[in-house]
Amino acid sequence: MTDEEVQDFVTRFAAAWAARDGNAFLALWHPDGTLDTPMVGRPVTGNELASLIEVQKAAAPDFVWQLLDWTRRGDVVIIEWQTTRNVNGARFDWRGVDKFRLKDGRIVEERVYTDTAPLRAFRSGTTLEPITRF
């Protein structure tokens, strides 16, 4: 892929998140693509993405995804992102990285890397304790 094609992919991916548009996500995916994310208890196939987006919109209607940075090497694209939402009147942010493997400009594999500990602590109402105190 050329740099322009990768930039177009990243732009369309960010736009799909901004619109939270399941069909826009589907257009980015290879029919045999898979998503592996700690946010869902199993691998998700590309054709399930529109349904996953609907579940996410219902659970977090104020969820905002923001592109922070990206890079690529060959058919691998890395996107750094931040998400924000309000829960019980408090702003909650977290960051992560998505690693994509593309084939013919479409996603054949997406792996999400994010620390779920802050999310789990927030969800359970507990305080997140650091592993190392410095």
Q: According to the model, what pLDDT value does residue 73 have?
A: 95
This prediction has a pTM of 0.87
> Do the Cβ atoms of 95 and 82 come closer than 8 Å?
yes
Q: Report the alpha-carbon distance of residue 25 to residue 9 in Å, rounded.
A: 11
**Helices within 20-48 (DSSP H only):** 22-28
User: For the segment 16-74, what is each residue's pLDDT rounded down to a tens digit?
Assistant: 999 888 888 889 999 889 999 998 889 998 788 878 888 888 888 888 999 999 999 99
Class of domain 3-124 as given by CATH: alpha beta
Q: According to the model, what pLDDT value does residue 129 have?
A: 84
Beta bridge partners of residue 67, listed in sequence order = 81
Q: Who contacts 36 (Cβ-Cβ below 8 Å, separation ≥6)?
A: 43, 44, 109, 110, 111, 112
Question: Is 87 a residue whose pLDDT tops 80?
Answer: no
Q: Report the alpha-carbon distance of residue 85 to residue 57 in Å, rounded.
A: 11
User: Residue ranges of the domains in the chain?
Assistant: 3-124
